[in-house]
Structure 1
Amino acid sequence: MRRHVVAFGGGHGLAASLSALRLVTEHVTAIVTVADDGGSSGRLRREYDVLPPGDLRMALAALCDDSEWGHLWRDVLQHRFGGGGELAGHALGNLLIVGLWDLLGDTVGGLDLVGRLLGARGRVLPMAAVPLTITAEVEGVDAAFPDAVTHVQGQAAVATTPGRVLSVRLDPSEPPASPEALTAVAEADWVVLGPGSWYTSVMPHLLVPQLEQALRDTPALRILTLNLEMHTSETQGYSAVQHLESLRAHAPDVNIDVVLADPQVVDDHDDLSMHARRLGAELVVLPVARPDDPGKHDPLRLAAAYRDIIG
């Protein structure tokens, strides 16, 4: 049976998920966050008033055909200019994607064209039709005032902020979702959320009202893949349980069917299982980390875990 899987996220976390899912099914759609405002993506976003292309590029690269042609164009997309000139720091794929958007006047059409060039085993879509700005309420940004709450704006700033992120919101608060993304969620058999930067790659999808509604209404089953590293800059001091609690706080009406966790992040199996059940989910604990680098997902192990769950 063909399984249609939709994967939500952005950056390296989504790339890890896609690298595994492409080994499980050829019917993968990546729905990618569009709030990045740093680096090459931020520069192109500000200069041309377009969606930030970087996370979209990384998702396309992760889905490239497993052939000499696919690997060549993956490397072309990921090539980053060095030096000190105007192109320094830009990824070639970002320029290609923005150039196609300018030429075609069609965001999704441009991404599909790059996918054809790569022989991509799946499709990549933006989660919203307009670029988004993330604003977080952060406690203890200044160590001298640990209880003070500060508003931190911008994906790059939130991802690296000191202090403890309490909540996030989007601007605009009700952005139009990509119609193709809504269709993909409605037609999916499975939806995979995470891994990835919790507040800047995973949670934003749940804050787009049309997308959150689609997640509630879809007949698909939903997998939440927990991160391997709990204590990133934007989740300082968080346990696996606190990740689940924050998801429930931000999207109380979205149920999860399976929470997938690596053994290294499970401090108390019974407690984590109880919090998973509050989301409607079964806790599945399987080794998905690289044996030689436990902070990164192993594509084969993650694929095996997804295959066990999806069937």
Structure 2
Amino acid sequence: MNKEHHNFLFDDKQTKKIMRKARFWSTIKMIGITLIVTPIVLIAFWYGLRHLSLNSAQKVSDDIHLFNEISAPNVQISNQKYDDNLLGGKIITTTYKVLGDQHRPYIWTPIESDYNLFGTLTQTYISKSIQIEGSESLAETHQLERFNDYTGDREMFFYHPKISYDQYKDKISELKQLENNTLVELAISFDNAYSFDEIKSKLPTEVQVDWWWVDAYTDDTLDFFQQGQNTIPANYPYIYGFQSEQSKPKPRRSSSNEVDTFIRNIELLRESKNFEWETNEVYQALIGENGNLETSDVKIIGAVVTGTPEQLQLLQGKSYIKASTFGVISNQK
């Protein structure tokens, strides 16, 4: 009995020793596997986030390009710099304006845009105008000269043909006061809404058109503008149009015209998370009675033209031009 009891105690101790040894080596094995697998998982996770972040940056970049194509009067993108991290990042977009038929670039305001990991814009920093005070009249306040707070240049503004203003600027008549070695950016507002082909046939062929302003405003918006006789500044977030083919130094290879490209860009942006609200507003303001956006629905109510004072004086006395305001005035040297 005692011998059996002794053997039992021996077996129990031996079993515990074996189990401890097994647990020890199991722990060592788990630690080894963890040390090997964890870096692999972390690296794979890092690369996954990095890939998603880069894709998000590219998506936001494409959306910024598309939105610039349907807005931003005479403002083109020259470059974009990414400052990305695993949770999103920042895109700095450098821009320029085109002046004259030689396509002289004029450096303009950079745009900073923050985005998250999923490719959604979270904040955009846009330059604001410096407005010189000096009028008590509300109507005159909306026509005071504005200056860009980054470059110090004049900011253009437009007059909507469906709004009655007490007064209109006529900067075309002041062109003769400028020296011929300058390049001028001029915003012209038409007296009515025209089809693209109709207004192109009216403008002198010697005048360089860089941007076309599209009538993309709802009746409610125009009623609001009418109450204060609001003009529409060129840096206004909700001003829409498209770059002219004349403003591009290289001819476009696409067979579609500028209006068709404008419509295509709107439809592409409507499918994006970024600028969805803005493009839906444009779409709803433009669509015809059939519920579709077609070329005939796009009406032109203004333009940005550039050139020398002598070239732009060809616009003097044109009855379809209701008003004109200066933008950039630059020495050619």
Higher relative contact order (CA 8 A, sep 6+): 2
The TM-score with structure 2 as length reference comes to: 0.24
Determine which structure has the larger strand proportion and give its number. 2
Which entry has the higher C-alpha Rg, 1 or 2?
2
The TM-score with structure 1 as length reference comes to: 0.25
Determine which structure has the larger helix proportion and give its number. 1
